[in-house]
Structure 1
Amino acid sequence: MKPSKERTKSSKSRLRLLHQYYSYTGFYSFVGKSILKALPYIILIVVGVYVLNSFFNINEALVRLTETLPIYGVLIFFFVSETFMGLIPPELFIAWASKLNRPWLYLMSLAFLSYFGGLLSYFIGKSITRIPRVHNYLQYKMQKQLKNSKKWGGLLIVAGALLPLPFSISCIAAGIIDFKFRGVVMFGSLRLLRFVIYGLVIFNVL
Structure 2
Amino acid sequence: MKEKAKSKKKSRIRLLHQYYSYTGFYKFVWNSLKKAVLPILLFVGALWGIDHYLLDIEDMLVTITETYAPLEVLSIFFLSESLLGLVPPELFIAWAGKSASPFLYLSLLATASYLGGVVSYFIGIAITKIPSVKEAMEVKLAIHIKNTRKWGGFLIIVGALLPIPFAMTSIAAGIIKFPFTSYLTFGLLRFARFYLYALVIFEMV
Taking structure 2 as the reference length, the TM-score comes to 0.66
Corresponding residue for residue 28 of structure 1: 24
Corresponding position of 1:113: 112
Superposition deviation, residue 200 in structure 1: 1.8
Equivalent residue, structure 2, for 1:51: none
**Whole-Å separation in 2 of the counterparts to 1:130 and 1:93:** 34
Q: CA deviation at 1:123?
A: 0.1
Q: Is 1:168 the counterpart of 2:167 in the alignment?
A: yes
Partner of 2:99: 100
Task: State percent identity of aligned pairs.
Answer: 53
For the pair 1:90 / 2:89, whether they are aligned, the reply is: yes
* SS state at 2:24 partner: helix
Cα pair distance change 1:188/1:73, threshold 3 Å: same
The secondary structure found in structure 2 opposite 1:79 is helix
| Aligned residues of 1:66 and 1:74 also touching (Cα < 8 A) | no
Q: Is the 8 A contact 1:157 1:171 kept in 2?
A: yes
Using the TM superposition, give the Cα deviation of residue 134 of structure 1 relative to its aligned residue in structure 2, in angstroms. 4.7
> Match of 1:100, SS?
coil
- 1:150 equivalent to 2:149? Answer yes
CA distance in 1, matches of 2:189, 2:108: 15
Q: CA deviation at 1:13?
A: 8.7
Q: 1:133 to 1:14 in 2, by over 3 A?
A: same
Opposite residue 198 of structure 1, the aligned amino acid is: Y
TM-score by length of 1: 0.65
Q: What are the superposed Cα offsets for residues 95-120 of structure 1, whole Å, 9 maximum, x if unpaired?
A: 00111121000000000010011011
Amino acid at match of 2:129: R
Structure 2, unaligned runs of 5 or more:
1-9, 32-56, 139-143
When residues 97 and 15 of structure 1 are mapped into structure 2, their CA distance, relative to the original with a 3 A threshold, is same
Q: Distance in 2 between matches of 1:169 and 1:116?
A: 14
| CA spacing shift, 1:90–1:147, aligned 2, 3 Å | closer
Q: Where does the alignment leave 5 or more consecutive residues of structure 1 unmatched?
A: 1-11, 36-59, 140-144
Q: 1:205 to 1:22 in 2, by over 3 A?
A: same
Contact 2:145–2:173, Cα closer than 8 Å, also in 1: no
